[in-house]
Amino acid sequence: MNLSFIRYLKYRNIQDRITYLKWYNFIERSQWWTMEENDNYQWNKVKQLLEYAYDNIPYYKELFIKLGATPNDIKTWSDFRKIPYLTKEIVREKSDDLIPRNIKKSKLRYHTTGGSTGIPLGFYKLREEQMIEHAFMFHQWGRVGYKETSKRVILKAQPLKNNKLFIKFRFTNDWFMSSRLLSKEYIKQYVVFLNHIKPEFFHVHPSCFFKFTQLLIASKLNLNFYPKAVLCGSEPVFDYQRDLFEKIYKTRVYTWLGLAEGTTLAGECEYSKSFHVWPQYSYVELVDKNDMPVNKKGLVGAIIGTNLKSLDTPFIRYKSEDLATLGSNKCNLCGRNHMIFDTIEGRKQDVIIMADGGELLVALIPHMIAHEFNNALNGIKMMQIIQEVKGEILIKFSITNDFNKADEAKIRAIIKSACHDQLSVKFEYSDDFIRSKSGKRILFIQKIKNIN
């Protein structure tokens, strides 16, 4: 037996596998629950969550004291909706107070997310949450034929070390395909390799896969296989992209909404483009501009989510900056009794154009900074990135006294290294930011026209 495989079979990985299978089987059974079963499950989970948070998490203990209440006073969904929202700002300011006191910090993993409209956000999760996430995602992809053993090529907006085109993941049928070398010079090598492995699924950032598809068409080369589906995540897939993918690859394009904070997961139905919100994953609300519940089909609201898949690191009534259009509460095509989003808005993540014409997913800028600075991000209140000229960006910061302006050089070096010196950065400090008409914060403003 391969020595590396023996090392892989260690206790931690066995526990991960047990967690994954437990949740996958639970999702399989519960996806067809009645509305009453879904509601009972969510209510019982919310009650457990509130009691746990009150007993173990300082932020929520203090919050209930300020409200003059205890979890026992929450007797209806109407009572629950009186709990104030958790926001990105609160998570940043109260990050230590959101850590459960009954769990050693060393057992938690620090996660960061750049988000599509805000600044980097850091928070803690248990290791097991990653396995639970996999169970939901893989089950969801199963709607278009995905299996755990399926051959998958992943194409996201990040390069590989040593300018490699592909790397193979150990112990899986997954390959990672570099986005950095997508060009006329290398397209033939990509095609030769893909024709050799014949992946069943492409798992992609739509903007990267669109560029690959354009190069494929221009080169007049052909793939000698058709994938079972194109899985589009991390950014919205636009109609022009979806249409092209389905035309060229003659397959289904499948997408979903997933928040790194773990408060919402909604995936397309196998029979339509509507998004089914997983009731076992979280309790989700939509609210209008006046914070009133959105309960009429066709109306748009802000997504409020409460994670149910893990009680140890709870986000209760977390208000993201994502918007959705409410559909019905049952799908007549597949039969699932799930809340349905007809459309999802507010997730636009454009690309930055580098000096050599290469593209960088804008959300990677906050991610790079978050990875390097970790908890030091508390000094940044807001960030906005503006591009007017190819190969240059302006980053505007609103900061607190905790931010050291000397960190500019570090941030510039991080971006320079990641972009192979193809992107220069200027900085500006201000509290004056461009917002959408609805007042929504905007991370990126692209002023270069006719990008494609």
At the fourth CATH level, which superfamily is domain 12-135+258-345?
ANL, N-terminal domain (3.40.50.12780)
Instruction: Give residue for tokens 């620090």.
Output: 110
Q: Left if phi > 0, otherwise alpha if psi is -120 to 50, otherwise beta: which for 263?
A: alpha
Q: According to the model, what pLDDT value does residue 349 have? A: 46
Q: According to the model, what pLDDT value does residue 372 have? A: 61
CATH 3.40.50.12780 placement within the chain: 12-135+258-345
Q: Quick one: tokens of 162?
A: 């040593």
Cβ 263 vs Cβ 306: under 8 Å: yes
pTM over 0.85? The answer is: no
Closest CA to 333 of 135, 145, 143, 140: 143
What stretch of H or E contains 52?
Answer: helix 35-56
CATH 3.30.300.30 placement within the chain: 351-446
CA 414 to chain centre: 22
Q: According to the model, what pLDDT value does residue 198 have? A: 96
Q: Quick one: tokens of 282?
A: 């979280």
Q: According to the model, what pLDDT value does residue 57 have? A: 92
Q: According to the model, what pLDDT value does residue 211 have? A: 84
Cβ 277 vs Cβ 338: under 8 Å: yes
Residues in the chain with pLDDT values less than 50: 1-6, 116-118, 347-349, 375-376, 438
Closest CA to 156 of 211, 215, 209: 209
Closest CA to 341 of 301, 381, 374, 385: 301
Q: Model confidence over 314-336: pLDDT tens digits?
A: 899 999 878 899 999 899 999 99
Contacts of 86 (CB under 8 A, 6+ apart): 315, 316, 317, 318, 319
Cβ 282 vs Cβ 264: under 8 Å: yes
Portion of the chain with pLDDT greater than 90, in percent: 48
Q: According to the model, what pLDDT value does residue 135 have? A: 94
How many other CB atoms are found less than 10 A from the CB of residue 84? Answer: 12
Q: According to the model, what pLDDT value does residue 430 have? A: 86
Q: According to the model, what pLDDT value does residue 377 have? A: 53
What is the residue-wise DSSP string for 377-405? Answer: GGGEEEEEEEESSTTEEEEEEEE-TT--T
CATH class of segment(s) 351-446:
alpha beta
Residue 103's identity, in one-letter code, is I
